[in-house]
Amino acid sequence: MRLLPAFAFGALILPLAAYANDPNSYAQPDQVRVTHLDLDLTIDFPHRQLDGQATLKLDWKNPRAQSLVLDTRDLKIAKIEALAADGKATRLQYILSPRDKQLGSKLTISAPKHPAQVRIVYTTAPTATGLQWLTPAQTADKKLPFMFSQSESIHARSWVPLQDSPAIRFTYDARVKAPKDVRVVMSAINDAKHPLDGDFKFDQPHPIPSYLLAIGAGDIAVKETGPRSAVYAEPSVVDKAAHEFEDTEKLIATTEQLYGPYAWGRYDILVLPPSFPYGGMENPNMTFATPTVLVGDKSLVSLVSHELAHSWSGNLVTSAAWRDIWLNEGFTTYVQGRITEAVYGKPLADEEALLSARALQKGIGEMPANSQKLAPDPRGVGADDSLSDVAYDKGSWFLRTLEQRFGRENFDNYLKGYFAHFAWHSITTEQMLDYMKPNLIEKYPGKMSWDEVKAWVYGEGIPKDAPLPESPRFNAIDKERSDFLAGSLAAGSLDAKGWNTQEWMYFLDRLPDAPPLAKMQELDAAWHLTGTPNAEIGMRWYSHAIAAGDRAVWSAAAEHMTRIGRMYLTTPLYRAFVKTPEGLAWAEQVYAKAKDGYHPLTQQVVENIIAKAKKAK
């Protein structure tokens, strides 16, 4: 049995076979591994497709291997060739298996002679789940079309044939041709001064997993925010974005002081159109971000702290399977809190930690038992399903508990060592625990038992002694909310003029699931929440007002749902509407108008919500 040469960590060495069982990938890395990807693509906006070729450099692990197995989804394969050292191409036979709804199609390439490189000529489908194509009318400036990718979790296979598993890391370079005046960006070093000549080249010298492969193209302007950072966005958005993210360099320097040097060179941010389905995506060198965080007061820039933190936890040290995704998201959410505390103060960091903890406390009991675990049994848990609040919020809560038990200085030293030890590798939960036991738990005996660690990682729910931060402002808001609901405090008398976004979020989050209609109408009359440009507040307000039966907010809620494609900010409104027959009919009308502006991932989630409600009806 051959070993992964990169894991030269003594007892932490894992056999290749340990990475050959990713239930979300057809790849067989114990037979052969992709080590480098060379892309040559042309962006075809009229046909909503990418045309070109992917050349894969291979490291054959098994001398008796007969084939290279890749992940694909809805790719049209033109031909596949083996490339000799002199560049001579030889056709290879292949089988493209029938499409599986979740995994796509297994591509098996016959290659008994073990070529060093294989080239695949292909075209993507207009319906590629990892790409969204927008017409000029669907963009902010309405001049040029826009295209962007979202590869996480297993959607890279819809635009590149590869081994689509987080356990497999590769370097890449790319040449991308596009129409003149369109700027192309990728998850690599980007040149802010690159002429818009339709021919772009990229190089990513660090090994990354496939879900961090990213591309974007459109009417994109650039504004520097520091010596190693810039904001990319549509021309009408770029100045606002640069102002909102002007602290980026300070955030980078702060994280370096905590956890070691930033290893990627540059950290740029691409602000996408509102249809982007997530808050942010930590693509190396180029975070993709939602415009919903551009509220003018920097109250939501913790998103940048989060995506930047991924440069250490997630991109530098990566979970080896989607079952282990809490190693990315839990560690990152913890580091995000430390960055926020250092730059914007402990009160804000504590408020954000409390918001996430209270939301998790409210919802975790409704989850299936397996989904409540940080490291669940992988059976029955899809790749996208792994990205739940448990991975983010229970994971970060566990790390805050470790910090409290072992002391901040000791835990910081441990975490810095962890990032350095596993840098540029993908690891399992069990590898992380094997490192933690001697380097933290046993190094400082009596602070935390191993049974307690296992209860956090493999247990359901949240341990009863899980610590929570204190927030005097949240305590005051709790009392005001209680008095308001009891009728002893009028809505207009709430001390809310100075509330920041997080404080409004907290006030609304802890209202009853179906609050009294009269109370919602009173609150709106006093504070004019309907029509708010702040999407975080809007999502919470509309969800509660709909649940209360306030038909007056329906039109504004529909505008919110049509304008914003970020799933976290849109799907709660669909869930609120479909609980009544009239609301379900309204939700279907809204979706019919909004669908073309949604990412395929958002479409899938909304259609599932509506279908489930109709079935129940």
Q: What is the pLDDT of residues 190-245, one digit of tens each?
A: 999 999 999 999 999 999 999 999 999 999 999 999 999 999 999 999 999 999 99
What pLDDT score was predicted for residue 12? 40
Q: List, as one string, the DSSP characters of 24-58.
A: T----TTTEEEEEEEEEEEEETTTTEEEEEEEEEE
Percentage of residues of the chain with pLDDT beyond 70: 95
- How many Å separate Cα 254 from the centre of its chain? 22
CA distance 461 to 361: 8
Per-residue pLDDT band for 380 (boundaries 50, 70, 90) equals low
Q: Is the pLDDT of residue 14 over 90?
A: no
Among the listed ranges 8-22, 145-159, 196-210, 514-528, which one has the minimum average pLDDT value? Answer: 8-22
Catalytic residue from among 392, 506, 574, 591: 392
Residue 432 and residue 323 in contact, taking contact as beta carbons nearer than 8 Å: no
CA distance 67 to 112: 6
Q: Is the pLDDT of residue 20 over 60?
A: no
- For residue 104, the cross-strand partners are 100
Helices 302-309/326-344 angle, 10° precision: 130
DSSP SS3 for 206: strand
pLDDT digits (tens, 9 = 90+) for 454-505: 999 999 999 999 999 999 999 999 999 999 999 999 999 999 999 999 999 9
Burial class (CB within 10 angstroms; exposed 0-12, middle 13-18, buried 19+) of 442: exposed
Residue 372 and residue 461 in contact, taking contact as beta carbons nearer than 8 Å: yes
Structure tokens at 277: 């389905």
CA distance 561 to 572: 10
CA distance 239 to 297: 14
128 CB neighbour count, 10 Å cutoff: 21
What pLDDT score was predicted for residue 388? 84
Known binding positions: 306, 310, 329
- Mean pLDDT (the chain) is 94
Q: Is the pLDDT of residue 65 over 50?
A: yes
- For residue 51, the cross-strand partners are 42, 123
Phi and psi at 160, nearest 5°, equal -145, 130
- Say which amino acid occupies 553: V
What pLDDT score was predicted for residue 223? 97
307 counts as catalytic: yes
Q: Is the pLDDT of residue 47 over 50?
A: yes
CA distance 143 to 328: 37
Q: Domain residue spans in the chain?
A: 1-124+145-207, 220-311, 317-458, 472-616
Per-residue pLDDT band for 387 (boundaries 50, 70, 90) equals confident
DSSP SS3 for 554: helix
Q: What would the CATH number be for the domain defined by 472-616?
A: 1.25.40.320
CA distance 599 to 277: 6
CA distance 573 to 296: 24
The answer for residues whose C-beta is within 8 angstroms of residue 300's C-beta and 6 or more apart is 292, 293, 501, 536
232: left (phi over 0), alpha (psi -120 to 50) or beta: beta
Among the listed ranges 294-298, 427-431, 585-589, which one has the minimum average pLDDT value? Answer: 294-298
Topology alike, domains 317-458 and 472-616: no
68 CB neighbour count, 10 Å cutoff: 28
In this structure, which topology does domain 220-311 adopt according to CATH? Zincin-like (3.30.2010)
Residue 594 and residue 574 in contact, taking contact as beta carbons nearer than 8 Å: no
Q: Is the pLDDT of residue 48 over 50?
A: yes
Give the single-character DSSP code of 438.
I
DSSP SS3 for 153: coil
DSSP SS3 for 614: helix
Known binding positions for Zn(2+): 306, 310, 329
CA distance 276 to 294: 14
Structure tokens at 523: 């609150």
- Say which amino acid occupies 437: K
Catalytic residue from among 81, 152, 234, 307: 307
CA distance 20 to 167: 9
Per-residue pLDDT band for 295 (boundaries 50, 70, 90) equals confident
DSSP SS3 for 442: coil
496 CB neighbour count, 10 Å cutoff: 16
CA distance 277 to 134: 13
> By C-alpha distance, which of 485, 488, 475 is closest to 520?
485
In this structure, which topology does domain 1-124+145-207 adopt according to CATH? Immunoglobulin-like (2.60.40)
Helices 472-486/517-527 angle, 10° precision: 120
More confident residue, 141 or 87: 141
Instruction: List, as own/partner pairs, every contact residues 493-501 make where C-beta atoms lie below 8 angstroms and the sequence separation is at least 24, other chains included.
Output: 494/526, 494/527, 496/527, 500/297, 500/299, 500/348, 500/351, 501/295, 501/297, 501/299, 501/300, 501/534, 501/536, 501/537
Structure tokens at 341: 């505390």
- For residue 176, the cross-strand partners are 41, 200
Report which secondary-structure segment, H or E, holds 89.
strand 89-91
Per-residue pLDDT band for 392 (boundaries 50, 70, 90) equals very high
| Mean pLDDT, residues 290-309 taken together | 91
CATH architecture designation of domain 317-458 = Orthogonal Bundle (1.10)
Distance between start and end Cα atoms, the chain: 55
Structure tokens at 443: 């190094």
Q: How far is CA 518 from CA 372, 401, 484, 530, in A?
A: 36, 41, 12, 15
Report which secondary-structure segment, H or E, holds 175.
strand 169-177
444 counts as catalytic: no
Give the single-character DSSP code of 99.
P
The strand ranges marked E within 199-244 are: 199-209, 215-218, 221-226, 229-233
Round the CA-based radius of gyration of the chain to a whole number and report it: 24
